[in-house]
Structure 1
Amino acid sequence: MAYKIVLGYWAGPGKAQPARYLLEISGVKYQDVRYSKPADWFGKDKYALGLPFPNLPYLIDGDVKITESETIFDYLIHKLNKTQLLGQDNDKYTVDTLRNLIGDIGTRLQMLTQKEGDDKTKFLNEQVLPKIKDIHKFLGHKEYLLGYFTAADLYFLSFARNLKKFYPETYQEFALTFDGLVTRLEAIPQIAAYISEKRHP
């Protein structure tokens, strides 16, 4: 490959993180563009990169220029010949469901940061915790969400690390079940190196 894949997103993990994990475990060199200042995106790159539908995250791979996190992940999983991570047979639909569910939880956690007091507690209890409990129940005592390693686990790792960092008390409610999978995923050599090299947002 004469060029590097370029993946652009805000400075935090967010919606780009599963794609970063996928690139890392695939051993592919890529340029991880992170925008810490809104002006660098809105005032500079948003309309200068030739993206058909300018948004974050974005991916540029030669002549391919795409946006939207799920589209980016699907593009990469096929390009990198990792389609086995989409699941076996009908498990594919469960993997898709988990990817969407975990993405939805991430969106709701972001919305939670904009709420205060009783409104925040109500939103957490009614709009966030029930969905986390669904993940908790589905995982149970399995080694991976589907019982074997899939793309859903990469989404889970991003979600679980964020939850533990920003909402530690909430994470603690599920730690007995979540910790094992988080530890298992963080021990994957490429992900362990990624974290230890301080490149992980």
Structure 2
Amino acid sequence: MAASKPLLGYWKIRGLGHPIRFLLSYLEVEFDEKYYELTPELTYDNWYADKEKLGLDFPNLPYLFDGSTKITEARAILKHLCRTRKPELLGKTIEAQTKIDMVDNFVYDLWYIEFSEMLYGYTEEWHKKYKAIEVVRLDRLSKFMGDNDWMTGNDISYLDFFLYEVFYQFKKFDPHCFDNFQNLDRFLTRFENLETIKDYMNSPNYLHGPAINIIAKYKI
């Protein structure tokens, strides 16, 4: 385990940063943050000022400095935190790990490719096409989860920290999206009731929003 306090760098939004913030809080790891904001002219000047100076192999946001380790890519960061702090969050068996990886990729495509792209380039027509996709994907997730406490079973994994933020944003966009998927709705409440998560959400460090950057046409 790294002895120094980790530093998380990301936009001053929830986005891909919040699953990492949630996981750090759950693990009771104190961490610092470097927020980047878009300028009023909607340029990325303050990130580009740092981008090539940080010693990152693949410069991107979010990044994590954890001792001598420097990492980019949100899901790589989540997995690193599990490996170095609580490996069972990666899945306790090969079968569990396979299920976690499968759902991770399935949800990432829905959230970051289909959902986020729809918000950034929002049109009513695009919205309708997305909703037709979403209801099919949520139905598959709901059936897969069944009566489990967490998505892939009764043991929480790093996937659930990622899923919470995804589901939060879906519900923020459409408060009724889980009306026919009550187990997914209960998942949100169960996650929020975890003691360390509840403490983090009630702390002054908790970032309530926005969920995505201000350049998006539809803001949540």
Question: When the two structures are superposed, what TM-score results if normalisation uses the length of structure 2?
Answer: 0.81
Match of 1:129 in 2: 135
How many Å separate the matches in 2 of 1:24 and 1:40? Answer: 27
Q: Which runs of 5+ in 1 are unaligned?
A: none
Q: SS where residue 168 of structure 1 aligns? A: coil
Match of 1:7 in 2: 8
Match of 2:172 in 1: 165
CA-based RMSD of the aligned residues comes to: 1.8
Q: SS where residue 16 of structure 2 aligns? A: helix
More off after superposition, 29-38 vs 165-174:
165-174
Aligned counterpart for 1:87 among listed residues 65, 87, 91: 91
1:98-150 per-position Cα deviation (integer Å, ceiling 9, x unaligned): 22222222212101111312232113313x33222211221222222223122
Residue identity opposite 2:99 in structure 1: T
Residue identity opposite 2:87 in structure 1: T
Q: Cα distance, 1:159 vs. partner? A: 1.0
How many Å separate the matches in 2 of 1:132 and 1:8? Answer: 31
Question: Number of residues paired by the alignment?
Answer: 197
Counterparts in 2 of 1:169 and 1:52: CA distance versus 1, 3 Å = same
Match of 1:29 in 2: 30
Percent sequence identity over matched residues? 29
How many Å separate the matches in 2 of 1:182 and 1:55? Answer: 29
How many Å separate the matches in 2 of 1:105 and 1:75? Answer: 23
How many Å separate the matches in 1 of 2:27 and 2:149? Answer: 21
How many Å separate the matches in 2 of 1:165 and 1:117? Answer: 17
Q: Which runs of 5+ in 2 are unaligned?
A: 39-43, 208-220
1:6-38 per-position Cα deviation (integer Å, ceiling 9, x unaligned): 111112222222222211111111112222223
Give 1 or 2: higher helix fraction: 1
How many Å separate the matches in 2 of 1:141 and 1:2? Answer: 39
1:70-95 per-position Cα deviation (integer Å, ceiling 9, x unaligned): 22112111111x11112232111001
Say if 2:75 is the partner of 1:70.
yes
Q: Cα distance, 1:2 vs. partner? A: 5.4
More off after superposition, 160-169 vs 22-31:
160-169
Higher relative contact order (CA 8 A, sep 6+): 2
Q: Cα distance, 1:39 vs. partner? A: 2.2
Q: SS where residue 14 of structure 1 aligns? A: coil
Residue identity opposite 1:117 in structure 2: E
Match of 2:160 in 1: 153
Counterparts in 2 of 1:179 and 1:124: CA distance versus 1, 3 Å = closer
For the 8 Å contact 1:15–1:103, the answer to whether it is kept is no
Q: SS where residue 59 of structure 1 aligns? A: strand
